[in-house]
Amino acid sequence: MDPGIAHEKQDRLKRWLRDHRPLLIAFSGGVDSTYLLAMARRVLGEEVTAATACGGVHSTDETAAARALANRLSVVHECFTDSILDCQDFVRNGPERCYVCKQRLFVKLKEIAAHRGIAHIAHGATVDDGRDYRPGHRAAREAGILAPLEAVGLEKSEIRVLSRELGLETWNQPAQPCLATRIAYGIPITAARLAQVAEAEAELRRRGVPEGRVRHHGDIARIEVAPAYFDRLMTPASRIGLRQALQRLGFTFVALDLEGYVTGSMNRSLQRPQSNHQRSD
């Protein structure tokens, strides 16, 4: 990464922000939206507001962290209840799951913006997001939601470096997609399955694996972690303990994916030809 180029992009972002005031930002508390919010606070002052969906597919820890970050940045922050699990088009968990979720999110953001007299709405999409299957970004474009980080060409690696320079604690935070992304397409999304995934990934962290995924394939829990952590999980005590813990959560089989942690791996099934069987990942 070239620091000079990253700073040039940051300067373009500042100019973009000056041209889009006042601004409402969809704020998850992740690396990208935190950087965007921090920059907007510096450039726009009190003319920026953050909004966060709470509940549904979002853990209470994520919501609490987003609240704390917005407070430290001295930004007006509105949390609203996300009742996405009442939406059958989402619960069915088809390939357009994220599209359905984001459509609902952006309707709510537009309501908040209208109520507060805010002219522009943005989210934290980056250049990297265009390299994977992200139907939620199509929903954003259709709704007129702006993507300033993507517009100025910022990539995740650059955002991490710039976040560190700003003193943001999120600069090296692992990616935090919603828990529904762990459930294979075609398996209905329920509160119980989301809780299974959340607790299973907490088990990984308790065993010294800071970033990993537990992919929910019905009876099967497929663990994705960086290969550097394989030895840690495969000691007899850790292997048996982790298997027993995940079986107590309701999984019948526990598997370690030998490829390691790969972002977007659940989308691979969408690239295979449709068969007569229901697709799953």
pLDDT in tens, 39-54: 999 999 999 999 999 8
pLDDT in tens, 99-143: 999 999 999 999 999 999 999 999 999 998 766 678 889 999 999
Cα–Cα distances in angstroms (integers) from residue 74 to residues 146, 170, 230, 281, in the given order: 23, 16, 41, 42
Six-digit token string for 46:
């009190």
> In angstroms, rounded to a whole number, what is the distance separating the alpha carbons of residues 173 and 180?
19
Q: Across the chain, what does the average pLDDT equal?
A: 92
Six-digit token string for 16:
């973009």
Q: Please name the helix (run of DSSP H) or strand (run of DSSP E) that holds residue 221, with its range, or none.
A: strand 220-225
| pLDDT recorded at residue 191 | 94
Cα–Cα distances in angstroms (integers) from residue 271 to residues 189, 237, 245, in the given order: 22, 38, 33
User: Can the peptide bond before residue 174 be classed as cis, meaning omega within 30 degrees of 0?
Assistant: no
**pLDDT grade for 56, boundaries at 50, 70 and 90:** confident
